[in-house]
Amino acid sequence: MAVTLADVAARAGVSPATVSRVLSGSYPVTEGTRGRVLRAVAELEYVVDGPASALAGAGSDLVGILVNDLADPFFGVLAAAVQGELGDAAGSGAEKLAVVCSTGGSPQRELDYLTHLQRQRATAVVLTGGAPEDPGHARALAARVARLAEAGTRVVLCGRPPQDREVTAAAVPPGAGRARAAVPPVTLAFDNRGGARRLTAHLLALGHRRIGCVAGPAGRTTTAERLAGHRDALAAHGTVDVPARTVPGAYDRSSGYDAALELLRREPDLTAVVAANDTAALGVCAALRDRGLRIPEDVSVAGFDDLPFSMDAAPALTTVRLPLREAGARAGRLALGRAVAPPGGVATLSAELLVRESTGPVRPGAATAGGGGGAVSGGVGSGRSGG
């Protein structure tokens, strides 16, 4: 059931008329009273209805795009592609205004932005990138999405796994018929697990067995999916997953650099490193060069995402290409109702292995030296199979 003005008044301990005065800003109200009312509005996630909606800047021209970090090319490409679809293609004067919200990876900030966008009557919201692996956040997110859907806002998840349907159903407010019909949101997911499996299989096919992994930040779905794919490939090829060969970190260059040094400290004879993304892979390459190691002659390096700079790195980076521009553009069209939703509301977009100069055959004698790497299985595949 939608939160009412009376609910806010009861929470703040004031009259409904006082709440109206605070929201309109046209009558003098003490700072203490104003603070209590605004806290109640935030706690109850109250959205102004009816004629007062203009006070919240309501309108149908706004599309919210949530990203983790605008400085990360991954999110920059996605956001630009979404925004590129918001123009007035039909010449009807219906061009939408994109508002890009950078959460900094904060789950609470993500929820707060969704509440703000609801208050602004956003016509659509596109959430990009991985999600926190937190059941509490999943329930809170599903509740926000349900409220947005109830208000007529389209929601698209781009680069995220689909919401759990049981969690979604439980989060829909009682009596919210439109929300029940509209959620869960349309999802465009990336095949992170399959892409990571192909990437590690490629290294195994080159003879590598002591493979370090610079994983992403713990507690994120993208990290879990890519790490699972890496481990899938090791298991399929009879190679033991040694926990010390995995180091978590952020999706940035400095984390890649530090993680590579830690991996070399733990196991100086590593012959390959897979990084959480291309930016971290650049940090890995810098750390290896600073240690006097050649790429790929001494250590092969691979990234993920195929960000714009990966082809121009020296050496050019072996990576997994995610269709970022295509996904963002499709998300934009879905957000505006200009594209048909995939069957079941979920589409998984393929991940393509791109082999470049940063990976090569294991150096002679390195595949079995040092022990602890598990069995070396015969008949290793091409590295493009098993997707």
**Any bridge partners for residue 211, and if so which?**
272
How many domains does the chain divide into? 3
Residue 11: its pLDDT value, please? 87
Residues 88 and 172 in one domain: yes
Residues 84 and 37 in one domain: no
> For residue 121, which of 100, 151, 145 has the smallest C-alpha distance?
151
Residue 94: its pLDDT value, please? 65
Residue 229: its pLDDT value, please? 98
Residue 180: its pLDDT value, please? 46
Q: Is residue 382 situated within a structural domain?
A: no
Residues 107 and 17 in one domain: no
Residues 177 and 200 in one domain: no
Residue 30: its pLDDT value, please? 83
Residue 88: its pLDDT value, please? 60
Residues 13 and 102 in one domain: no
Q: Is the pTM value of this prediction over 0.85?
A: no
Q: Is residue 379 situated within a structural domain?
A: no
Residues 248 and 216 in one domain: yes
CATH code, domain with 116: 3.40.50.2300
pLDDT digits (tens, 9 = 90+) for 322-357: 999 999 999 999 999 999 999 999 999 999 999 999
Low-confidence ranges of the chain (pLDDT < 50): 50-59, 90, 176-182, 367-387
Residue 53: its pLDDT value, please? 42
**Any bridge partners for residue 124, and if so which?**
63, 154
Token pair belonging to 15: 């009259």
Structural domain that includes position 101: 57-190+323-350
